[in-house]
Chains A and B, each alone.
Chain A
C-alpha cells in the first residue's frame, strides 16, 4: 500500500512570495489533515478535510493560507504572501476513519522563508 505522498520535499522562498504544497493521501482515506510543525514543537493542525469538505480550519491563518481538496482526493496548501514565521515543516496526514482515526503521515515539506 502506497503511503502519503507530498511534494516538494524542500522549498526556499523570499518573504512575500507565494508557495504551494501538494499532498496525495493513501487511497480510500476520507480524512486529510495539514499540520505545521515549527522546529522544536509538536505538529499544529491547520486544517482537516472529510472528503472534499472542511471539518475544521479554525487554526488556519486565512489571511494568507488557503487549502483545497478537490474531488476529495489530493490536496494543496498555499501560502500567499509568506512571512518569516512561516518557516516550518508542513505535514500532510490521512486517515480512513475506521480505526479510531489512526493518522498516517507523509514525509513533509520543509519550507524556509528568507
Chain B
C-alpha cells in the first residue's frame, strides 16, 4: 500500500541549530515528492518539490531536501533554524498514475528553543 511516514511527531531544536526532518515513503510508481509547511491558523505552503533530475533540491526560506531512492526517503534540512520556522511540516507523495493525488504524512511539529 502507498504510504508516507514521518517518524517524528515533534522535534525541538535550538535557534541557530541545524534541522533534519525525516520522510520515508512506500510508493509503487515514480514519485513526485513535496514538503509543505503549515503555520498556526494558516493554510499549507509549498516549501520545495522533487520531480526528477538533481536529487538535492532547494526550496524557499533556506530549506533543502535530498531524494534517496535506495532509502525511499526525502528528508528536509536547514542549516540554521530561526524562531519563525516553528510550524508543522508535512511530507507528501504523488504521481501521474494516481491523478496526481497526494498521499500525506502525519506531520512533524517543529518547536524552536530560544
Contacts and interface: CB of A to CB of B under 8 A. Distances in A.
A91 B100 CA distance: 17
B51 to A, nearest CB: 5
A100 B92 CA distance: 13
12 contacts: A42-B4, A43-B90, A43-B102, A48-B99, A56-B99, A91-B44, A100-B51, A101-B94, A105-B44, A106-B43, A107-B42, A108-B43
Contact of B49 (A40, A48, A95, A100): A100
Interface string B93-105: 0100001111011
Interface of A: 4, 31, 40-45, 48, 55-56, 91, 93, 95, 97, 100-108
A97 B106 contact: no
B32 A100 contact: yes
Nearest to B94: A101
A100 B100 contact: yes
Of the candidates A45, A56, A101, A108, the one having the most CB atoms from chain B within 10 angstroms of its own CB is: A101
A48 B99 CA distance: 9
B11 interface: no
B101 A56 contact: yes
B99 to A, nearest CB: 6
